[in-house]
């Protein structure tokens, strides 16, 4: 079902919007901009510690925040573990139990078995890394304690529907973010080149780096690898963007829509969540028409991404590979976040430096955007500044009321 096409079936249930909470700040932004649920990574049980992963006290703080808003918090425990990591996982599960998190996201059947032993009532969601591609596999996992399955990213819309009609588990699918050249992240490239393993949620995306050929007796002399005049693009997966296909996914009975990107910025978490929240809230009643607002795609162009496509949803379109650049693109820079003071003179925590006189834009939930000229920048004591430096907290005047959690951005190339 495409943009503008009438919904086919009876009541169209609104799927849950699941956003990445890479750290506490990103989690706050995802919630503030409309996520129904957030997923986070923990810092223990033998997984390589990754910047932003949540310690137990941070998980506790996140849980309090999420529950206070009536939303859900899922913890990724989706690594495939080596034998020596199992005892540490058992200890970690005991530590986690009192937090009473809404679900764990798992892949390894051994981890499932251990959770069933230590914490038998915990809700389990199966990660995309378990590569569930058919209803028989879904039913198998359901019999083994899984409530929700994040299906393999390589499935078409017709295949999603077939799985839906063959099982009664909750089904979840990715709607936005990076895609893999390997099958749903089961790839060793990042682990081999950087020590950061995709199988532990820490892929550094080396499939997107530039590669050249070097003859071994001529160090430093690189021969370009070219497929055609545009260069080489053997590993250039597009990023997934299914904002135009939300009615199709809802009508197919998908229960959860997941945004990829725990390692992306706070700005990414906020803007992508804002767009999908707005789009989901625009899903029509049965018989109604879904109109994909062009502003949604424009907003998604403001975050760092590779050219978008619909992945495997419509295989006939062949939108997995981008036959040109492997570079990331974005139209805007993240400038800062409002941290205190309601109204027109808030305090801003600066992320990228900016100057008086620059054109900035206030980004607030519900796709509210306000472009303005930043007349003056002051310290919190009222002293005038000639520049706002990263990590400083400064006061500015806004043309409209802002709230803590709103963001500031600048069109790229707009710095003076
Ligand atoms: S390196 Fe590329 S193909 Fe491999 S897991 Fe990472 S994104 Fe996927």
When pLDDT is averaged across residues 358-362 and rounded to a whole number, the result is: 97
Residues 127 and 42 in one domain: yes
Residues 302 and 374 in one domain: no
What is the DSSP code (8-state) at residue 34? T
Q: How many CA atoms lie within 13 A of 280 on its CB side?
A: 24
Yes or no: say if 73 and 101 are a contact pair by the CB < 8 Å rule.
yes
Residues 146 and 243 in one domain: yes
Residues 132 and 247 in one domain: yes
Nearest CA residue ID for atom 6, ligand 1: 205
Residues 396 and 272 in one domain: no
Q: Is 207 in the pocket of ligand 1 (CB under 6 A)?
A: yes
Yes or no: say if 401 and 345 are a contact pair by the CB < 8 Å rule.
no
Yes or no: say if 135 and 153 are a contact pair by the CB < 8 Å rule.
no
Q: For residue 30, give the nearest of 268, 219, 222, 218 by alpha carbon.
A: 268
pLDDT digits (tens, 9 = 90+) for 79-112: 888 899 899 999 999 999 999 999 999 999 999 9
When pLDDT is averaged across residues 262-270 and rounded to a whole number, the result is: 94
Q: What pLDDT is recorded for position 230?
A: 65
Kindly tell me the sign of the dihedral angle through the C-alpha atoms of 102, 108, 111, 115: positive
Residues 248 and 279 in one domain: yes
Nearest CA residue ID for atom 5, ligand 1: 185
What is the Cα–Cα distance from 21 to 29, expressed in whole angstroms? 8
Number of domains within the chain: 2
Q: Which residue has the higher pLDDT, 263 or 297?
A: 297
Residues 395 and 261 in one domain: no
Residues 389 and 294 in one domain: no
Yes or no: say if 184 and 152 are a contact pair by the CB < 8 Å rule.
yes
The CATH number of whichever domain residue 388 belongs to comes to 2.40.30.10
Q: Which residue has the higher pLDDT, 10 or 37?
A: 37
Q: Which two tokens stand for residue 342?
A: 């309601």
Q: Is the pLDDT of residue 6 over 50?
A: no
Residues 292 and 357 in one domain: no
Q: For residue 40, give the nearest of 29, 50, 54, 51 by alpha carbon.
A: 54
Q: Is 182 in the pocket of ligand 1 (CB under 6 A)?
A: yes
Q: What pLDDT is recorded for position 9?
A: 41
The two beta strands, 256-259 and 170-177, are parallel
Residue in 177, 185, 239 to alter for ligand 1 test, most ligand atoms within 8 A of Cβ: 185
Nearest CA residue ID for atom 8, ligand 1: 180
Residues 407 and 279 in one domain: no
Residue 186 lies in a domain: yes
What's the pLDDT band for 4 if we cut at 50, 70, 90?
very low
Residues 78 and 102 in one domain: yes
Q: Which two tokens stand for residue 3?
A: 């943009």
């Amino acid at each position: 079902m495409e943009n503008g096409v009438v919904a086919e079936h009876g009541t169209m249930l609104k799927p849950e919007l699941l956003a990445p909470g890479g750290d506490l700040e990103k989690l706050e932004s995802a919630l503030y901009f409309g996520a129904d649920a957030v997923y986070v990574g923990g810092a223990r049980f033998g997984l390589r510690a990754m910047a932003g992963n949540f310690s137990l006290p941070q998980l506790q703080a996140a849980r309090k925040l999420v529950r206070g808003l009536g939303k859900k918090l899922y913890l990724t425990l989706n690594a495939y573990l080596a034998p020596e990591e199992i005892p540490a996982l058992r200890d970690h599960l005991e530590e986690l139990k009192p937090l009473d998190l809404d679900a764990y996201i798992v892949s390894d059947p051994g981890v499932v078995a251990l959770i069933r032993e230590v914490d038998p009532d915990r809700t389990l969601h199966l990660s995309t890394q378990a590569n569930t591609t058919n209803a028989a596999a879904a039913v198998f996992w359901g019999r083994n304690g899984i409530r929700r399955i994040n299906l393999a990213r390589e499935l078409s819309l017709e295949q999603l529907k077939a799985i839906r009609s063959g099982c009664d588990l909750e089904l979840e699918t990715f709607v936005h973010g990076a895609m893999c050249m390997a099958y749903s992240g089961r790839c060793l490239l990042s682990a081999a080149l950087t020590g950061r393993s995709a199988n532990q949620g820490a892929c550094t995306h080396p499939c997107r780096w530039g590669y050249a050929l070097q003859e071994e007796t001529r160090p430093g002399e690189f021969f370009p690898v070219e497929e055609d005049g545009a260069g080489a693009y053997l590993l250039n997966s597009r990023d997934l963007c299914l904002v135009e296909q939300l009615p199709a996914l809802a009508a197919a009975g998908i229960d959860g829509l997941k945004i990829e990107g725990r390692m992306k910025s706070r700005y990414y978490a906020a803007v992508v969540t804002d767009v999908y929240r707005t789009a989901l809230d625009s899903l029509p009643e049965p018989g109604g028409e879904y109109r994909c607002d062009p502003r949604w795609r424009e907003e998604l162009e403001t975050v760092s991404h590779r050219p978008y496509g619909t992945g495997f949803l419509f295989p006939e379109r062949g939108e997995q590979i981008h036959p040109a650049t492997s570079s990331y693109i974005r139209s805007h820079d993240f400038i800062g976040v409002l941290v205190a003071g309601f109204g027109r003179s808030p305090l801003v925590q600066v992320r990228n430096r900016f100057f008086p006189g620059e054109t900035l834009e206030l980004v607030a939930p519900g796709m509210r955007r306000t472009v303005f000229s930043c007349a003056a920048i002051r310290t919190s004591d009222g002293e005038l500044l000639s520049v706002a430096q990263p990590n400083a907290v400064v006061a500015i005047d806004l043309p409209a009321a802002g709230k803590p959690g709103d963001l500031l951005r600048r069109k790229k190339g707009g710095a003076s």
